[in-house]
Amino acid sequence: MSHSMDAILLVTGATGNVGVELCRALVRDYPRVRARLLVRAVNEDELRARWLQTVRAAQLGDARDDLPGCEPIRGDVSAPGLGLEAPALERLASDTTHIVHAACLTSFATPAERLVRTNVGGLENVLRFARRCRALRAVAHVSTCFTAGRRVGTIREDELEHDAGFVNAYERSKYDAERMARAAMADLPLSVYRLSLLVGRRDGFVHRPQAMHVFLENLYQGLFPLVPGDPEAPFDILPTDYAAEALLALVLRRFAPSQTYHIAAGEHAPTTLAWLATTAEVFRALSPAWRAGAHIQPDLVDLDTYRHLVDTVATVGNKTLARMLRVISDLAEYPLSSKHFDRSNVVAALGTDSTPPAFADYYPVVLEAAARGGWWRTSA
Ligand SMILES: NC(=O)c1ccc[n+]([C@@H]2O[C@H](COP(=O)([O-])OP(=O)(O)OC[C@H]3O[C@@H](n4cnc5c(N)ncnc54)[C@H](OP(=O)(O)O)[C@@H]3O)[C@@H](O)[C@H]2O)c1
């Protein structure tokens, strides 16, 4: 345990949802770790401004404009040498002991070639840098549980390769990156940390709304009469800060090379029906329209019924309905392809400390904070 305390850590993706929570947990729980955060910026002024936004989002309770032990550096994982000048790269390579690679393009709308350049090419650049690090002890590749694509059933941490296909090009790019990460285990102390769907911080804060948030905001507005989903399938979802904390504990306290971890709710996940019912219950408490029955909990339908609706909307050419389906379709196949993410490796490494927060405790808080703040304004 103690060796984690003198780590010099390079973090990519610090300005993102996961990155902000990594910064917050690092400052709070690992005061002796020095962290360098690779941040995209066109010049030093923009770097300072972007770092300040990240510090504010990390919200450590006071209006500080820096985080102790954290140094932002300007770079880009999709560029050779991480976009750093040779002397800066050399300085990093001389003393970096740990790397947490979380930088990624996560929007499902991003064209496939950009996803590949950043999500696969970015990892390649990080691995090239890691091979130059003379004090390296650990590389953490941050991935997603959804490299499992359209697989169904129990997904084990040690499994990766499959031919079930993928819901979108994002999943595909993360799968290809994981294959590259696994190959690098041959010559680097590297492990893979797959995160589940992250909905926001336990205190309700959402840094950057993503597909799930667009979906929830539109659901609140009563836009969806139905949602595709298997009522009994697990709806695997986690608070973002818990995921970041578990990741840091695995990397800085319990690192083991050549492992894969599911940082997921696993057996603690609600069913899809329970998730939807909780969502509707919170919405009823928040909204007169929901209370009055103007908006109601959508029905869960199977894929054939959903596809029939998609075809009908395409035939009649109704723009409002088409807009609604675009929002649903980003998430449509997740609750339909029933997966249970086995998390044995996480439990073996962290024990009961790894039990995720109860869904009923944090999820309503995120929705209530969104409603109080006027939602995320993500409407399609
Ligand atoms: N959020 C989830 O629900 C979820 C679920 C499963 C797995 N994950 C995984 O967790 C990791 C982080 O995701 P996230 O939700 O935090 O994503 P995010 O909010 O979209 O943030 C992505 C981060 O990557 C950075 N980035 C993108 N391209 C870059 C580049 N070329 N060079 C340097 N930095 C770059 C972004 O910087 P800018 O600020 O400059 O854009 C941002 O800091 C990813 O590996 C993702 O696959 C997330």
* Interior angle at CA 197, CA 191 and CA 203, nearest 5: 105
The model's pLDDT over 143-160, given as tens digits with 9 standing for 90+, comes to 999 999 999 999 999 999
Task: Output the six-digit token pair for 42.
Answer: 């066109």
Question: Using a 6 Å cutoff on CB, does residue 142 contact ligand 1?
Answer: yes
The model's pLDDT over 256-312, given as tens digits with 9 standing for 90+, comes to 999 999 999 999 999 999 999 999 999 999 999 999 999 999 999 988 898 888 889
Question: Using a 6 Å cutoff on CB, does residue 327 contact ligand 1?
Answer: no
- The residue type found at 64 is R
- Residue with CA at minimum distance from ligand 1 atom 7: 144
What single string gives the DSSP state of each residue in 37-67?
EEE--SSHHHHHHHHHHHHHHH--SS--SS-
Q: Which residues contact 304 (CB under 8 A, 6 or more apart)?
A: none
Query: Cα–Cα distance between 113 and 132 in angstroms, integer?
Result: 28
> Of all residues in the chain, what percent carry a pLDDT higher than 70?
97
The model's pLDDT over 212-227, given as tens digits with 9 standing for 90+, comes to 998 899 899 998 888 8
> Exposed (0-12), middle (13-18) or buried (19+): which is 374, by Cβ within 10 Å?
exposed
DSSP class of residue 188? Answer: S
Query: How does 185-206 read in b/e, with b if 16+ C-beta sit within 10 Å?
Result: beebbbbbbbbbbbbbbeebbb
Which numbered atom of ligand 1 lies nearest the CA of 78? 31
Question: Using a 6 Å cutoff on CB, does residue 239 contact ligand 1?
Answer: no
- Residue with CA at minimum distance from ligand 1 atom 23: 13
Question: Using a 6 Å cutoff on CB, does residue 174 contact ligand 1?
Answer: yes
The model's pLDDT over 70-93, given as tens digits with 9 standing for 90+, comes to 999 999 999 999 999 999 999 999
The model's pLDDT over 32-78, given as tens digits with 9 standing for 90+, comes to 999 999 999 999 999 999 999 999 999 776 667 889 999 999 999 99
pLDDT at position 287: 96
Answer whether 363's CB lies under 8 Å from 269's CB.
no
Average pLDDT over residues 343-365: 96
Which numbered atom of ligand 1 lies nearest the CA of 145? 6
* Tokens 């969502």, residue located: 279
Q: How far is ligand 1, taken at its centre, from the CA of residue 163, in Å?
A: 26
Query: Cα–Cα distance between 57 and 341 in angstroms, integer?
Result: 30
Query: Cα–Cα distance between 244 and 116 in angstroms, integer?
Result: 24
Closest CA to 364 of 187, 237, 250: 237
What region does 317 belong to: left with phi over 0, alpha with psi -120 to 50, or beta?
A: left
Question: Using a 6 Å cutoff on CB, does residue 197 contact ligand 1?
Answer: yes
Question: 343 φ, ψ to 5°?
Answer: -125, 35
- The residue type found at 93 is A
Question: Using a 6 Å cutoff on CB, does residue 77 contact ligand 1?
Answer: yes
Confidence check: pLDDT of 5 > 80? no
